[in-house]
Structures are given as structure tokens and as C-alpha cells.
Amino acid sequence: MLSKIHNGLLSRPLITSIQSQPRPLVPSSTLLRQRPNLARTLSVQTVLQSQETHSKTETPRNFTYHAAAAFSAKYKRFNPTNDVFHFNPYNRIQTQKRPKSKRPASGQDAFFISRVGDTNAIAFGIADGVGGWEDSGVDPADFSHSFCDYMASVAYEHRSDATGASLTARYLMQKGYDDVCKDGSIHAGGSTASIGIASEDGKLEVANLGDSGFVHLRLNAVHSYSEPQTHAFNTPYQLSIVPASMLARAAAFGGAQLCDYPRDADVTQHTLKHGDILIFASDGVWDNLFNQDILRIASQLMTQLGAWEASDGGILVADNLLPFTQARDSTRPLTLQSALAVEIVGAAKEASTNRRVDGPFAKEVQKYYPQENWHGGKIDDICVIAVVVSEDGKPEAIKSKL
């Protein structure tokens, strides 16, 4: 199995038994075109909610964010009903690290979504535990899940100081990493990280370290996306806790221990618009789906439900997205953002076991290790956060010329 390298010894074989992995149980009818009831259910909710939604009078240029997450552990069956998290900014989050029994069933991948203090800004992110630590008897999930719990707590409890300074993505990553390093129950491990903070005025800041990442969709196009940070093939940048004993062995026998820091993360700034979609995901998605695959899935769902409308002049975004982004009631929590997350996880899960269609990871293996004859997808943990951007009090729809 190909797992991320954590010890930096690049002479170690990178690929072993790559085609002999057992296939996970994957539900049939995962994609939207194979599950038309998903769109039909959302459409019914949308019609009902449209009758109950009143126009808003908030100050223009005030943004709100509708977020959800979906996930699937490596060798587990994906359950679109249970393997999903519906974010509610008004719910109080647990500000302590969760016990293992309370973690989402996302394997070594972890995520968080949190309101920033008492504002409408949100912080969210993906952390992918580095699987290579398993060779040293370390559970990579301990680092990644604790890292996300600590970042969620920092964001939720954040208050601007006297200067009005806002929370930044790199600072949040640094605080989460510091807390993990101080956690006496975590003696070793590592993780990649892709952290975003979306502010009330429509600004997005992203700090990306490693090969988790994001794509920003706007009006049926890929507007921007992150580039993976790697030291070498299948060796991403990673935050790490390296025990002193490992450092001593490396010093005595040679080799290097990979340990990157939040200061090494790529930080980017983005301006958001009404109707934009943000997809943050672990490499379980990016190794199996191209950006255009993500765009196709999102476009199909958005246009089928009516959140995006095709016209002679281009793509039109619905003025009011609340009928799509708010659940009708607690017994029917399906929303546009949760549907996006579920569809992308389902597509990545299906692609990971498809041996006939070469995904992004297969293309990379063929480039660097053509003798391996790798074809198809790459089985891995999969985690997705989907965010739908809404501008409150918007006077008119947004239009894009095609």
C-alpha cells in the first residue's frame, strides 16, 4: 500500500503491492445521476421553503456561509445518511478534545467547522493523518483529530483584540499545532492541513500545508485552487511530533525526519461572491478526482436544483439561496451543502476502486514510476467540506457571460 512517507528516507521503496489491496465495500448508485431521488427530495424541500422564505433586510455586503462535511474511512462502506456533518453556527461546540469514541468515522482524516467567536465568520479545515506513522506503532488519527478539535476550540473562543485584529488561517494552524505538541497523550504523529477562514465581508484566507487542498467554484467554472506542497512524490509537507528516540536514531544512523511548520504553509487570499462554492478535501479526493470532475458534480447539482440557472446570456445565481441551504426540519436535514459533500465523497469513493479509469494519482505514478503499471484509483480515507457562499441583502442576481 502506498502511504505517505513520514521519515524522509526517500531510498525506502515507495510502492509495494499496489494493486493487491482489498476493495472496500462501496454502495451502488452513489453519483447524482444514479440517485435521482436526492435531487427530487431537495427540489421538494426548495419549493416548500420558497413559500415560507421572506426577503431579508440586512446591510448589503454581509456574507453568511452554509457548510457541511461528509467522509468515508478507507475500508468502510460509505453511508450517505450517517457519514455527514451538518454545520449549525448557533450550536455550541465542545471545546475539549473529543475521546476516540466520539470522533466521526473518517479514519485518519479529520475535519472541523466552527463559528469564529460571536461573528458570522467561520473557520474550517481538513487534516489528513500521515499513514507512514503506523509503521512505528502510532495511530495517525490521534494527531489529525486532536489537531482539528484544538483549532475548532480556538476559533470558537476567539475574540478580536483592542486593535480589531481578526483571526488568521496561519495563526489558527499554529495554535492547533502548539496545543497538539503540548498534549501529553500524543507522543508522535503527523498531519497535512488545509485551513480556511471566511469573513463576514466576503474575504477568504487559506493556509495550505501538504497535499490536502481546496477548489473554489464560481458560475460553472473553477475560479481558483490550491497546489499541493510535496518534498518528493507521495511525500507531502506535514506537521509532526517526532520523539527524541527517533531523532537520536536518525542522528546515529543517518536519515532525516520530516517536520514542517505552519510558517511553511502557502497562504492565499480570495474574494468571494454570492453563489460561490468552496470544496476543501483530503487527498482521498484529489488523488481520485480532477478539478473538472468536482466542477461537473457541483454544476449538475446546482443547476438541477435551481440554485444556478442556465440562460442565453450565461449562468444566473438564485437571489435567495436560503431555500436550498436550510434544512426544512430536524427530521429532514438534507441541504445543498450536505448534498454537495455527499456527492463528491461518493464519486471519490467510486473512483478509488475503479481499475479502468486513471485518476490524478495514477497519472503521477505513471510519470515517476512507469514500471509499476498502476491504473485506476487509489483507496484512501476521504473527507470533504462543502461551503455555499451567500450574500445577504443582495439586490440582484449575478451573471457570468459564457
> Which residues touch 332 (CB under 8 Å, ≥6 apart)?
41, 45
Give SS3 for 306.
coil
Q: Give the model's confidence band at 88: pLDDT under 50 very low, under 70 low, under 90 confident, else very high.
A: very high
Reference 171, options 95, 262, 97; nearest CA is 262
Question: What local confidence, expressed as pLDDT, does residue 395 receive?
Answer: 46
Q: Give the model's confidence band at 157: pLDDT under 50 very low, under 70 low, under 90 confident, else very high.
A: very high
Residues in the chain: 402
| 290-332 residue pLDDT tens | 999 999 999 999 999 999 988 887 889 999 999 999 987 766 6
Q: Which amino acid is at 325?
A: T
Of 53-57, 77-81, 230-234, 288-292, the one with minimum mean pLDDT is: 53-57
Question: What local confidence, expressed as pLDDT, does residue 392 receive?
Answer: 82
Angle between helices 336-352 and 291-305 (to 10 degrees): 140
Give dist(CA 399, CA 113) in Å, integer.
Answer: 30
Region of 374 (left: φ > 0; alpha: ψ -120 to 50; beta: rest) is beta
Give SS3 for 176.
helix
Question: What local confidence, expressed as pLDDT, does residue 327 receive?
Answer: 84
Question: What local confidence, expressed as pLDDT, does residue 173 receive?
Answer: 98
Give dist(CA 187, CA 178) in Å, integer.
Answer: 13
Angle at 310 between CA 308 and CA 316, to 5 degrees: 50
For 33, other C-beta atoms within 10 Å of its C-beta total 12
Higher pLDDT, 140 or 5: 140
Architecture field, domain 32-400: 4-Layer Sandwich (3.60)
Angle between helices 36-52 and 291-305 (to 10 degrees): 50
Q: Give the model's confidence band at 31: pLDDT under 50 very low, under 70 low, under 90 confident, else very high.
A: very low
Chain position carrying cell 469573513: 199
Cα dihedral 196→141→29→300 (10° resolution): 10
Angle between helices 336-352 and 36-52 (to 10 degrees): 170
Higher pLDDT, 362 or 24: 362
Q: Give 221-248 as a DSSP string.
A: SEEEE----EEETTEE--EEE--HHHHH
Give dist(CA 322, CA 128) in Å, integer.
Answer: 32
Q: With a cut of 60, say whether residue 133 has pLDDT above it.
A: yes
Give dist(CA 199, CA 62) in Å, integer.
Answer: 9
What are the boundaries of each domain within the chain?
A: 32-400
Q: Give the model's confidence band at 244: pLDDT under 50 very low, under 70 low, under 90 confident, else very high.
A: confident
Question: What local confidence, expressed as pLDDT, does residue 19 receive?
Answer: 37
Give the whole-number percent of the chain exceeding pLDDT 70. 79
| Global pTM value | 0.84
Question: What local confidence, expressed as pLDDT, does residue 400 receive?
Answer: 39
Cβ-based burial of 280 (10 A; exposed 0-12, middle 13-18, buried ≥19): buried
The mean predicted confidence, pLDDT, of the chain is 84
Give dist(CA 167, CA 82) in Å, integer.
Answer: 32
For 343, other C-beta atoms within 10 Å of its C-beta total 26
Contact by Cβ (8 Å): 179, 185: no
Q: With a cut of 90, say whether residue 255 has pLDDT above it.
A: no
